[in-house]
Amino acid sequence: MQFINFDKTDVYKRLAEHAKNNVFDFRKRLDAKRVGECIAPMAAGLKYSWAAKAVDEGTVNLLQELANEQELISKYKVLLDGEMMNTGEKRKVLHHLLRGELGQPVIEDGKNIGEFYRRELARFCDFAASVHEGKYKGTTGKPFSSVIQIGIGGSDLGPRALYLALENWAETEGKKKLNAKFISNVDPDDASQIISNCRLDQSLFILVSKSGTTQETLANELFVNYKLIKAGLDPSKHMVAVTSETSPLAHNSAYLDSFYIDDYIGGRYSSSSAVGGCILSLAFGPEVFREFLSGAAEADRLALNENILQNAALLDALTGVWERNFLNIPYTAVLPYSQALSRFPAHLQQMDMESNGKRVNRSGEPVDYDTGPVIFGEPGTNGQHSFYQLLHQGTGVTPLQFIGFTDSQRHDDVTVDNSVSQTKLAANLAAQIVAFAKGQESGDRNKEFPGGRPSSLIYGKRLTPEVLGSLLAHYENKVMFQGFVWNVNSYDQEGVQLGKILTKKVLSGSFGDDALEAYSRMLGV
């Protein structure tokens, strides 16, 4: 198996020539037949439609050759088998193993990592069940009614997005156990607002920091502890930790319990671990979290298919490479037509941009081609009244990734003007796909839409825990495959470190840079 730069592959030049000489005008080719044919299966009943992509049969064939030449499935398999794939930090990459074994058992220093993950899953699921049964109570003896996660980055974005995605579903299905809230920003207004709107004596806090040294998270822990003590409560009866077994938070009497992950689980890929599982199990019940894992595991299995037309994550990844490197488009918009997925684009933004926002390859050598795109998005139909103007009629082209469902989560709707709101939502989504693709001619230039804006659509019946797991794993695997194509290390994040180093200098008073000192004084440090 070889890890080579994208532009050194045999198929790279042929893709470039194909983009130059065979531009596929999907504006004219998008019809019912193409819509019906350009569909790939996904897990949990979802489907991936790529009919409105600027991709013809010749493009598909070349992208299949690219997948084969870069050995994308083989690389996925060795990742699953526990090979060292995080070259920057010399670590394995094992977030798939949180959902179940797809490869060989992963053994490290005589320790079966899969068994470790399964044990921790059982532990925090049992803990959640005990909280629901009233076996754990706060200082005053009252049962917990709220759970509040303290974390930042991957310890906040993914779990927050998943909780919001399932909250309506859980309330409708009678699965809601506890209210959940999140504290992430070191800005004291964040923690203060959350705490002022909860019953501290009935609140359980989850402190999440793999290293146990995350500055913002520990600052917020001290803030919360101060508020608990001021209210006459014992912090040790109101807080659990999610951390590594070697961190200062591990095996610590300051917490009711501690649940563990290891260095093989990156923060932005940790929602399948105790980082996401603890709060989701407490909020909705352990069985709901296990359903989520089941959907993700099925998606992971489907991602092993070498045929790109039967592997939605791989096809999504490769069409993204086509748009980024050969159509020269630096952006991608994620547009879920589901209010439940309101924070899902923010999570994907971190996962994608932190993973593949790299300028050097796996060996640390600069690359001569573009890598990860800028990711942004908002739920529809809100986005239609915000930034869609630029997407429709601006001077650039942005690929669009739509997500939609035929049924709402709450089944609570009314008929107005001969249709319910869910039907109106779906009608808006269908209209936007065609409007972006085909545009509109007009004698009035202000009313002219050029079209030619490519999009994909992930669609299904209803957003459930299993469907959510499928969605999350799809995007995780998409990012993985793109990283393999570009030959970058998708699993470290040195880009966040320099700012942390300079922040410590500012707080210690040893600036070492007059501009840094000047800005710090300007901001009252």
Active-site residue list:
354, 385, 500
Rounded to whole angstroms, the Cα distance separating 403 from 397 reads 19
* Both tokens assigned to 343: 């924070």
The vertex-344 CA angle with 71 and 404, nearest 5°, equals 85
Q: Look at residues 120, 160, 125 and name the one whose alpha carbon lies nearest to residue 271.
A: 160
Q: Which residues have CB under 8 Å from 248's CB, separation 6+?
A: 212, 213
For the chain, the first-to-last Cα distance in angstroms comes to 52
Q: Look at residues 220, 432, 262 and name the one whose alpha carbon lies nearest to residue 336.
A: 432
How big is the chain, counted in residues?
525
Residue 45, judged by CB atoms within 10 A of its CB (0-12, 13-18, 19+), counts as middle
* Both tokens assigned to 72: 């994308």
Q: Which residues have CB under 8 Å from 52's CB, separation 6+?
A: 26, 30, 433, 434, 436, 437, 454, 455, 456, 457
b/e map of 394-419 (b: 16 or more CB within 10 Å)?
eeebbbbbbbbbeebbeeeeeeeeee
* Strands (DSSP E) found in 430-469: 455-460
Q: Which residues have CB under 8 Å from 345's CB, separation 6+?
A: 334, 335, 336, 375, 376, 377, 378, 379
Rounded to whole angstroms, the Cα distance separating 147 from 347 reads 20
- Could you please report the per-residue DSSP string of 334-403? EEEE-GGGTTHHHHHHHHHHHHH--SB-TTSPBPSS--PPEEE---TTGGGGTTHHHHHHSSS---EEEE
Q: Look at residues 396, 392, 405 and name the one whose alpha carbon lies nearest to residue 437.
A: 392
* Both tokens assigned to 322: 């086509």
Rounded to whole angstroms, the Cα distance separating 137 from 140 reads 8
Quick count: other Cβ atoms within 10 Å of Cβ 509? 9
Rounded to whole angstroms, the Cα distance separating 393 from 439 reads 9
